[in-house]
């Protein structure tokens, strides 16, 4: 798993919903999740919320024409 697998799944359009928690700390170097994904968010609704702890929660939800009348996305 990890960011490389997530990136490949995003490129292939295989992810319907993604929740990313962004913590305001510096961890050092690593594999960057967003490299090579410019514009992927166009097919997603994006919401963000900042918790009291300072963590930012960003949720990407695929926009589909298959949403039922109540507005819920199919799983």
User: Residues 6-58: pLDDT tens digits?
Assistant: 989 998 989 999 999 988 777 777 777 888 888 888 889 999 999 999 999 99
> Residue 49 sits in which domain range?
3-62
The position carrying tokens 């589909």 is 64
If one counts the domains in the chain, the total is 1
The region, left, alpha or beta by phi > 0 then psi within -120 to 50, assigned to residue 52 is alpha
The confidence score (pLDDT) of residue 24 equals 78
The confidence score (pLDDT) of residue 66 equals 46
Model confidence at 68: pLDDT above 50:
no
Distance CA 46, CA 63 (A): 10
Model confidence at 61: pLDDT above 60:
yes
- Residue 64 pLDDT grade (very low, low, confident, very high; cuts 50, 70, 90): low
The confidence score (pLDDT) of residue 65 equals 46
Residue 71: inside a domain: no
Distance CA 43, CA 46 (A): 10
Residue 14: inside a domain: yes
Residue 21: inside a domain: yes
């Amino acid at each position: 798993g990890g960011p490389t697998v997530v990136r490949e799944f995003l490129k292939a359009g295989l992810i319907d919903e993604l929740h990313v928690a962004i913590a305001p700390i510096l961890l050092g170097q690593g594999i960057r999740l967003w490299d090579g994904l410019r514009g992927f968010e166009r097919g997603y609704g994006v919401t963000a919320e900042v918790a009291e702890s300072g963590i930012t929660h960003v949720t990407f939800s695929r926009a589909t024409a298959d949403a039922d009348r109540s507005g819920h996305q199919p799983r």
